[in-house]
Chains A and B, each alone.
Chain A
C-alpha cells in the first residue's frame, strides 16, 4: 500500500505539501499575537521551502525526464536548517529582551517605533 502510494507519488505531491506548510506558516505569522507563535510560523515557512529543495533533489524528477538537482538540493536544505537555527537563536534573544522591557511577548505591543 505504502509502496503503491510511493509508486504513484511524484514531485508535485511534495510541492503541494511544501506549499501547504508555507501557507500555514504565513498564516501563523500573520495571526499569532504571541511572539513564540510567530517564530513557529517562521519555522514552518522555512521548512516548507526546505521540502521543495529536497523534492527537487530527489530522483523523481529524473523519472519525469528532467535533470534533478541531486545532492545540491540536500545541501541547500542543510544550509537552510543551519540558517533557521541561527535565526531562532537571535529571534529568541530578541523576544527575551522584549519580554524584559515590556513584561509580555505580545507582538502587537511592540509598536514603540511606529510612525
Chain B
C-alpha cells in the first residue's frame, strides 16, 4: 500500500487507541483488578500499541522512497526532491499540487536549485493531508477532523508514544501507593488529623490516556481548528493531573493557575485564528477537498507561500482584500455587478499588497498563534505556571510538563513556520531569549529538585523558540525531540530520588550515588545530554547536536543582523548557566557526603519497573542525535519536511526594520559551525567546572557567594519577583474589583431587594386583613344565616302526618285566596 493511504490509517489508529483506553478505564476502571490495578496494564498496552503503529509508520515513511538528504554541508541542498507518487482521491502530496512542480518532481536525480542563483525551482516537501470527518460545513465555513502528515508528524508520534510508554511503565511502579487507601500527611483536616482517602490509581491512568490521545491529536491535526480543540483538551488533562492531589491546597491552586494562565495565551490564539479565518476562510494547513463542492481548496501554507511565487512568503489575497475593505467599499459605491466587482478587486489586489495592506493582519495572525504557544510552552511572560505544575505526581511532570505538552507550543510554531513573517519570528526569538535567560537564572538558586528541572524545562523551551525565531527551523525541532528524551529521563530520575527520599529538598540529599546507582548514572547521562556534552567534531550526546545547531544558527543570525547579537549572547550565556545548575543538581543530590542521615538511611534504589524506563530513555538521550549512515537520523528526517521557501536567506523590510533571516544550511558552514561548537563546549565546560568547585570540591563556598551577592541572590530566590508582580498587577486588582462588585451586590442590589420585599410584606398583610375580615366575613355571614334558617325550619319537620295534611289544606286555601285576590280578573274570566 502506498504511504499516502497507509500513513493516515496507521497514525489515525495510533491516535485513537489511547482514547479507547481512556473510555474503558473511565467506565470500568475501579473494576479492573484489585483497586483498579489493571488500569495500568490497559493504558500501557494501549500506548504500547500506539508506539508500535508509530514505529511501523516511521519505517514505512523511510521505505516509501521519501527523499533522504545527505548530511554533507555543501551549498547545494537547498531543495528537496520528492519521489512520492502516492496519489489517490482525498490525499494530496503537497508537491503534486500544481503543474509548475511536475518538472521539479520528475527531475529529481540531479536537481539542485542553488539559492545563489536567485529563486530556482523550489519544490514543496512531501506531506499528506486530508479529512476523516467533517464536523460542520456551511458555505465557506468547514471544520473537520483531518490529518497533515509529514516527517515531523511521524517523528513526533514516535517520540511521544515512546516516552509515554516509558512513563506509563514507570508510573505503574511510582503510583503504587494509590493502590490502597492513602493517608495524605500534607492535608490537615479541621480535626487536626491527616486526610485519609481512597486510592486513585485508575484515575491517574485514565487521565494519562486522555492526555496521550489529545497530544497525538495536536500532532496529527490537519487544521488549526482541530489543533485548538486538542490544545484545550491537553490543557484540561494538565489540569486533572496537576490537581491529582486536589485535597492539597497547593495542588489545586497550581492546577487553577496553570489553567488560567493558559487561557490568557489561548485568547491570543483565538484572535490569530479569527484573523486567518476572516481573511482566508480556511484553517487547513495543506490543500484539501471540500466535501460540499468537491473542489480542491488551498490550505494556509499554499496561500501564504504560493507555488507560482516560488514559495516566497507573501500576504495572501484574502488577507489583502480583508484589510482593504474600505477600498472595496469605494469600488462598490458605483454599483457594479458582482462578477465585475470581483474582477476589479482581483486586479487591484497586487497593488494593495505593494501598499502594505494585510501586512499587519498576517503579523497579528502570527503573533496570535504564538500567544497560544507562549502559554502552552511557558514562555515569558506566561511561564509562571510551569514550576507550580510540579505539584502533580512526578510521572506527570515528566510526560506532560517537560516532554510533550509544553512541547506542543514549539511544535505548533514549527508547524506554522511558513506563515510566520520575519517580524513575528523576531518577536519569537526575543521571547525565547528572554525566557531562556530568566528561567536559567532562577534555576540556579532553586533547591527543590523538581523545580530546578521545571525551570530548566522553561529555559530549554526558550532555546527552541529562539532557534525557530532566528530561522533555525530544523535546529528548534531537533532540540524539541532530543530535549523530550533527556528531560523525561531527568524527571523520572528525580522522581526516583523523591520516591526514595520522600522529600524534594536537595539540601537534605547528597551521597545517593552509593545507594541508587542506576538512578545516579542515568541522571548523569541526562545532565550531560542537556548541557550538550560531547567530543567536539567527533561524537556527542543528543543534546550536543541540537544545541550546536541552535548556537550556530543564533551566531549566524547575529552576524547577519548585528543589531540583534544580544540573542547569541543569551544563548551562549544560557548554555553556561544550564551546565552550572544541572551539575549543581547532580552534585548536591548524588555526590559528596549525606547531608541528612535520616533521609540517607531511608533511601533505596527504586524497583525494576522504574529503573528499566530510565535505562531505555538514557539510551535514547545518548543516541537520539546521531545520524546513521545513509542520512538516516532525526535531523535529516526533520529536514525532509522543511517548509517550502524557507531554505533560502531572505531579507525583508519589516515592522522592526530590515531583517535578514539567514538560511539554516549556511550555519553548517565551517567558520560558523566551528565557532559555535567551541563556544558551546567552552561554556558547558566552564559551567560544569564552576559547579564542581562549588558543590563537589567546595573550594568556593556557595553560602559565601550568596552572601557576597545578596541582592542578586534574593532577587533570584524570589524568582525575579514575577509571581509577586503578577499578584500585584493582576490578582490583587481582580480581587479588589471582585470585592467592589460584591459590595455593590450586598449593599445596593440586596438592599434594594430587601426594601422591595419589606414593602411587599406590608402590602400583603393589609391584603390579608381585608381578606380575613371583609371577604371571609361576608361568606361566613351567609353561611351562618343559612345555618340559622335551617335550624328554624327544622322545627316544622315534626313527622306528624296529620299536621302535614293541615299544612297542605291551609296552604292550598291560602294560595286560592291569594290568587283570587291578586288575579281576580283571570279567574273570573
Interface residues of A (CB under 8 A from B): 26, 29-33, 38, 107-108, 110-115
A38 to B802, CA, bound (A): 9
Interface residues of B (CB under 8 A from A): 793-802, 805-806, 809
Asked, given contacts A115-B794, A115-B795, whether A108 binds B800 with beta carbons under 8 Å apart, the answer is yes
Q: Which chain A residues border B798 with CB–CB below 8 Å?
A: 111, 114-115
Q: Output the nearest chain B residue to A107 by Cβ-Cβ distance.
A: B801
Q: Flag if A26 contacts B796 (CB, 8 Å).
A: no
Q: Output the nearest chain A residue to B802 by Cβ-Cβ distance.
A: A30
Q: Flag if A110 contacts B801 (CB, 8 Å).
A: yes
Q: Which chain B residues border A33 with CB–CB below 8 Å?
A: 802
25 pairs, A vs B, C-beta closer than 8 Å: A26-B805, A26-B809, A29-B802, A29-B805, A30-B802, A30-B806, A33-B802, A38-B802, A107-B800, A107-B802, A108-B800, A108-B801, A108-B802, A111-B798, A111-B799, A111-B800, A112-B799, A114-B797, A114-B798, A114-B799, A115-B793, A115-B794, A115-B795, A115-B796, A115-B797
Chain B's nearest CB lies how many Å from the CB of A71?
27
Q: Output the nearest chain B residue to A33 by Cβ-Cβ distance.
A: B802
A20 to B809, CA, bound (A): 15
A111 to B793, CA, bound (A): 16
Asked, given contacts A30-B806, A30-B809, whether A38 binds B801 with beta carbons under 8 Å apart, the answer is yes
Chain B's nearest CB lies how many Å from the CB of A15?
16
Q: Which chain B residues border A110 with CB–CB below 8 Å?
A: 799, 801
Q: Flag if B796 contacts A31 (CB, 8 Å).
A: no
* Most B C-beta atoms less than 10 A away, residue of A32, A38, A110, A114: A114
A115 to B796, CA, bound (A): 7
Chain B's nearest CB lies how many Å from the CB of A28?
9
Chain B's nearest CB lies how many Å from the CB of A69?
19
Which residue in B793, B795, B799, B802 is a CB contact (below 8 Å) of A31? B802
Chain B's nearest CB lies how many Å from the CB of A87?
15
Q: Which chain A residues border B797 with CB–CB below 8 Å?
A: 113-115
Q: Which chain B residues border A31 with CB–CB below 8 Å?
A: 802
A77 to B77, CA, bound (A): 138
Q: Which chain A residues border B795 with CB–CB below 8 Å?
A: 115
* Most A C-beta atoms less than 10 A away, residue of B793, B795, B798, B805: B805
Q: Output the nearest chain A residue to B794 by Cβ-Cβ distance.
A: A115
A108 to B799, CA, bound (A): 8
Q: Which chain B residues border A30 with CB–CB below 8 Å?
A: 802, 805-806, 809
Q: Which chain A residues border B802 with CB–CB below 8 Å?
A: 29-33, 38, 107-108
Chain B's nearest CB lies how many Å from the CB of A68?
20
Q: Output the nearest chain A residue to B793 by Cβ-Cβ distance.
A: A115
Q: Which chain A residues border B794 with CB–CB below 8 Å?
A: 115
Q: Output the nearest chain A residue to B790 by Cβ-Cβ distance.
A: A115
Chain A's nearest CB lies how many Å from the CB of B789?
13
* Most A C-beta atoms less than 10 A away, residue of B798, B799, B800: B799
Chain B's nearest CB lies how many Å from the CB of A21?
15
A31 to B795, CA, bound (A): 21
A107 to B796, CA, bound (A): 17
Q: Which chain A residues border B805 with CB–CB below 8 Å?
A: 26, 29-30
Chain B's nearest CB lies how many Å from the CB of A110?
6
Q: Which chain B residues border A29 with CB–CB below 8 Å?
A: 802, 805
A30 to B795, CA, bound (A): 20
Q: Which chain A residues border B809 with CB–CB below 8 Å?
A: 26, 30
Q: Flag if A113 contacts B799 (CB, 8 Å).
A: yes
Chain B's nearest CB lies how many Å from the CB of A29?
5
Q: Which chain A residues border B801 with CB–CB below 8 Å?
A: 38, 107-108, 110
A6 to B809, CA, bound (A): 33
A113 to B796, CA, bound (A): 12
Chain B's nearest CB lies how many Å from the CB of A57?
23
* Most B C-beta atoms less than 10 A away, residue of A31, A33, A112, A115: A115
Chain B's nearest CB lies how many Å from the CB of A37?
10
A68 to B806, CA, bound (A): 34
Chain B's nearest CB lies how many Å from the CB of A66?
15
Q: Which chain B residues border A113 with CB–CB below 8 Å?
A: 797, 799
Q: Output the nearest chain A residue to B812 by Cβ-Cβ distance.
A: A26
Chain A's nearest CB lies how many Å from the CB of B809?
6
| CB-based closest 10 A-B pairs | A111-B799, A114-B799, A115-B794, A115-B797, A107-B801, A30-B805, A29-B805, A114-B798, A30-B802, A30-B806
Q: Which chain B residues border A26 with CB–CB below 8 Å?
A: 805, 809
* Most A C-beta atoms less than 10 A away, residue of B795, B802, B809: B802
Q: Which chain B residues border A107 with CB–CB below 8 Å?
A: 800-802
Q: Which chain A residues border B800 with CB–CB below 8 Å?
A: 107-108, 111, 114
Q: Which chain B residues border A38 with CB–CB below 8 Å?
A: 801-802
Chain B's nearest CB lies how many Å from the CB of A97?
15
A75 to B28, CA, bound (A): 97
A114 to B799, CA, bound (A): 5
Q: Which chain B residues border A108 with CB–CB below 8 Å?
A: 800-802
Chain B's nearest CB lies how many Å from the CB of A14?
21
Q: Output the nearest chain A residue to B803 by Cβ-Cβ distance.
A: A30
Chain A's nearest CB lies how many Å from the CB of B822?
23
Chain B's nearest CB lies how many Å from the CB of A115?
3
Chain B's nearest CB lies how many Å from the CB of A36?
13
Chain A's nearest CB lies how many Å from the CB of B594?
112
Q: Which chain A residues border B793 with CB–CB below 8 Å?
A: 115
A112 to B798, CA, bound (A): 9
Chain A's nearest CB lies how many Å from the CB of B807?
10
A32 to B793, CA, bound (A): 26
A26 to B409, CA, bound (A): 118
A28 to B795, CA, bound (A): 25
Chain B's nearest CB lies how many Å from the CB of A86?
20
A33 to B800, CA, bound (A): 10
* Most B C-beta atoms less than 10 A away, residue of A30, A31, A33: A30
Q: Which chain A residues border B796 with CB–CB below 8 Å?
A: 115
A21 to B491, CA, bound (A): 130
A91 to B416, CA, bound (A): 113
Chain A's nearest CB lies how many Å from the CB of B808?
8
A33 to B805, CA, bound (A): 12
A32 to B802, CA, bound (A): 8
Chain B's nearest CB lies how many Å from the CB of A95?
12
- 17 more A-B contacts (CB under 8 A) besides A29-B802, A107-B800? A30-B802, A30-B805, A30-B806, A30-B809, A108-B802, A110-B799, A110-B801, A111-B799, A111-B800, A113-B797, A113-B799, A114-B797, A114-B798, A114-B799, A114-B800, A115-B793, A115-B795
A101 to B540, CA, bound (A): 128
Chain A's nearest CB lies how many Å from the CB of B436?
110
A114 to B796, CA, bound (A): 8
Chain B's nearest CB lies how many Å from the CB of A99?
15
Chain A's nearest CB lies how many Å from the CB of B566?
117
Chain B's nearest CB lies how many Å from the CB of A47?
17
